[in-house]
Amino acid sequence: MILLSQRKINEDIIKRFEIGYAPESSRSVKYLKAKGFNEQILTDTGLIRTHDLDTYAVFDNRLMIPIHDENGNPVGFTARRLNEDKDVAKYMESIKNTQLMNSVKNSIEKDNLEKYVKLVEGAMDVIAFEKADIHESIACLGTACTKEQITLLKRLNVPLVVCYDGDRAGKAATYKFGK
């Protein structure tokens, strides 16, 4: 995939983060139905929706990354658009921001955690740290950090460094987070 090669994301990172691809909507729905997936489960997980009796895939031509709960169970997806169409949201999530996308769990279990965790905005930021062999980053999947996410962060019981983007939204969120 062009986006992956442009960002120098190798096969190891693709496997570690279980990165996949969602094709055009009708192809996705056809594939999921052919595989026998339960339509209610697909709806509950946010992968498909029905409107006026038409079923469509929510994620259309996107890079897909699963979001896991604190026990490692997949609970949803974050998805990045593959084109640069400014009229289409760059990122979408299938669940509300109650989870954190991270690479920290294994580091904590190995008692290998550095003195602090880096809080970043999105999945691609976590992956960028991973490419640099830095394994203690967490994404709140947007600039807003919810109460549920704060609770999860507190459970880590380590200092937190906010590494949001330097754009206006990132700076505003960093300031708000620090208040």
Q: Assign 3 a pLDDT band (cuts: 50, 70, 90).
A: low
Query: pTM of the predicted model, to two decimals?
Result: 0.80
Question: Please, which contacts does 13-17 make with residues 24 or more away whose CB atoms are closer than 8 Å?
Answer: 13/127, 13/130, 13/131, 16/130, 17/65, 17/66, 17/123, 17/126, 17/127, 17/130
Residue-level pLDDT at 107: 47
pLDDT digits 0-9 by tens, 13-44: 899 899 999 999 999 999 998 999 998 888 88
Q: How far apart are CA 15 and CA 175, in angstroms?
A: 35
Q: Among 3-7, 24-28, 69-73, 136-140, which is the least confidently predicted range?
A: 3-7
β-pair partners for 74: 68
Contact assessment for residue 71 and residue 36, using Cβ atoms and an 8 Å cutoff? no
Residue whose token pair is 């999945």: 123
Contact assessment for residue 118 and residue 161, using Cβ atoms and an 8 Å cutoff? yes
Residue-level pLDDT at 144: 81
Q: How far apart are CA 156 and CA 159, in angstroms?
A: 9
